[in-house]
Amino acid sequence: MGAVHPPFGIYVHVPFCASRCGYCDFNTYTASELDGSGASPDGWLAAVRQELALAAGVVGERPVDTVFVGGGTPSLIGAARLGEVLGAVRDTFGLVPGAEVTTESNPESTSPEFFDELVDAGFTRVSLGMQSAAQHVLAVLDRRHTPGRAVAAAKEARAAGLEHVNLDLIYATPGETDDDLRSSLDAVLDAGVDHVSAYSLIVEDGTALARRVARGELPAPDDDVAATRYEMIDDRLSEAGLGWYEVSNWARSDDAACRHNLGYWLDGDWWGLGPGAHSHLAGSRWWNVKHPARYAARLAEGEPPEADREELTDAERHTERVMLRLRLAEGLPVDLLDADGRTAAGQAVADGLLVPEGDRVVLTRRGRLLADGVVQSLLAGVGV
């Protein structure tokens, strides 16, 4: 019997955006930021094909379980190019039967025809950046779409035949009210999607939003408000039949959960294609150079686009397993903890942060709100 490998995913990073959102610190570039560099969507696609060939030489024959095209704004490069990306992955590695194939999309750069082309190309899932249904909240986030466009796009995606549709929310934005969030949740449920991701706003250093907060133009997000909003989200989605399977993700069924992201959380293997993309194979982790022009130039010269790499120690891999698996509703196997960690887990159960389920411990909702602290306590062997 041959060796059993963990699931293998391909992540593809599209670095292009029409404009930069004020809260975003991802590796993305607008047309004006790339002006004069020679970087373009077609040059990026050619470079991705070259990196795919390089990946095949390293990985060998190993069919792909999941593909996830993220960014940036993948929908900005059009469904035809996205189809070419998927075709190149399929031609290079092959896809397992029933492979999950996802692309992120911004509502304003989609249409019914766009979704029809995605389905024809073989995509099975789309993740749409909604963030909020309140216009003033979208304005603080520098989002360009109108409040109703995300819901309309989700309905178009479902009508086109995409098996799974996700809407992303951001909550606890300065100026957002409880009623704003209720309206956003109403809109999400009206869209009929089978997956929702919801993230508390984080003010990242170096972003336009961070500069506005530093100047006193906007208040910093409030942790207590964020906790209350999370509880609102969990209550409403749970009542509507979407259960949490990861701290920030809810799905209508096991099939609707994002298998690609589960690969990250369960210590799977993946190859990240594109500028700044990260990869992980058997405890080795590396990441590509960030600028699209430099990325393409490296590959054109026959050089790998790798910027740096690290070999994870057993201790580092253990830390990541505890940190990531505890975030899942299926919980953390207790046998991953040492004696001190099991003692700390018992204290967390007594404190109402964990609940035992068979040979695992699972975060309670209060535990989800304090997940980072729970992880630290399990690794250090002390109470939260």
Token pair recorded at residue 89: 């992955």
CATH code assigned at 354: 1.10.10
Q: What is the rounded average pLDDT for all residues in the chain?
A: 94
50 lies in the same domain as 168: yes
In this structure, are residues 66 and 9 in contact, taking their beta carbons and an 8 Å threshold? Answer: yes
34 lies in the same domain as 117: yes
pLDDT above 60 (res 1): no
Q: Cα(186)–Cα(299) distance, rounded to whole angstroms?
A: 47
- Residue 2: band (very low, low, confident or very high) from pLDDT cuts 50, 70, 90: very low
Structure-derived torsion over alpha carbons of residues 99, 16, 176, 179, reported in degrees to the nearest 10: -40
Question: Would 147 be classed as within a structural domain?
Answer: yes
Q: Cα(331)–Cα(339) distance, rounded to whole angstroms?
A: 18
Query: What is the enclosing helix (H) or strand (E) of 300?
Result: helix 292-300
pLDDT above 80 (res 382): no
Q: Cα(272)–Cα(58) distance, rounded to whole angstroms?
A: 13
- Residue 33: band (very low, low, confident or very high) from pLDDT cuts 50, 70, 90: confident
187 lies in the same domain as 327: no
260 lies in the same domain as 356: no
18 lies in the same domain as 134: yes
Among 35, 30, 38, 134, which residue's Cα sits nearest to residue 73? Answer: 30
Domain boundary among 265, 293, 323: 265
Q: Cα(255)–Cα(259) distance, rounded to whole angstroms?
A: 8
Summarised one tens digit per residue, pLDDT across range 348-360 is 999 999 999 999 9
pLDDT at 3: 45
Domain boundary among 231, 265, 299: 265
Q: Which of the pair, 71 or 147, is modelled with greater confidence?
A: 71
- Residue 74: band (very low, low, confident or very high) from pLDDT cuts 50, 70, 90: very high
223 lies in the same domain as 324: no
Domain boundary among 265, 298, 325: 265
Summarised one tens digit per residue, pLDDT across range 159-209 is 999 999 999 999 999 999 999 999 999 999 999 999 999 999 998 888 888
334 lies in the same domain as 244: no
Domain count, the chain: 2
Question: Would 364 be classed as within a structural domain?
Answer: yes
Question: Would 284 be classed as within a structural domain?
Answer: no
Those residues with Cβ within 8 angstroms of residue 197's Cβ, 6 or more apart along the chain or in another chain: 127, 166, 167, 168, 169, 248, 249, 250
238 lies in the same domain as 372: no
145 lies in the same domain as 59: yes
Among 52, 27, 45, which residue's Cα sits nearest to residue 271? Answer: 52
242 lies in the same domain as 341: no
Question: Would 270 be classed as within a structural domain?
Answer: no
CATH code assigned at 124: 3.20.20.70
Order the strands of the 354-357 sheet from edge to edge.
332-333, 360-363, 354-357
- Mean pLDDT, rounded, for 315-343: 95
Full domain range(s) for residue 47: 8-265
pLDDT above 80 (res 310): yes
319 lies in the same domain as 195: no
Summarised one tens digit per residue, pLDDT across range 265-276 is 998 999 999 999
Question: Would 74 be classed as within a structural domain?
Answer: yes
Query: What is the enclosing helix (H) or strand (E) of 135?
Result: helix 135-141
pLDDT at 81: 97
Question: Would 309 be classed as within a structural domain?
Answer: no
91 lies in the same domain as 19: yes
In this structure, are residues 260 and 250 in contact, taking their beta carbons and an 8 Å threshold? Answer: no
Question: Would 273 be classed as within a structural domain?
Answer: no
- Residue 383: band (very low, low, confident or very high) from pLDDT cuts 50, 70, 90: low
Summarised one tens digit per residue, pLDDT across range 202-260 is 988 888 888 998 999 999 999 999 999 999 999 999 999 999 999 999 999 999 999 99
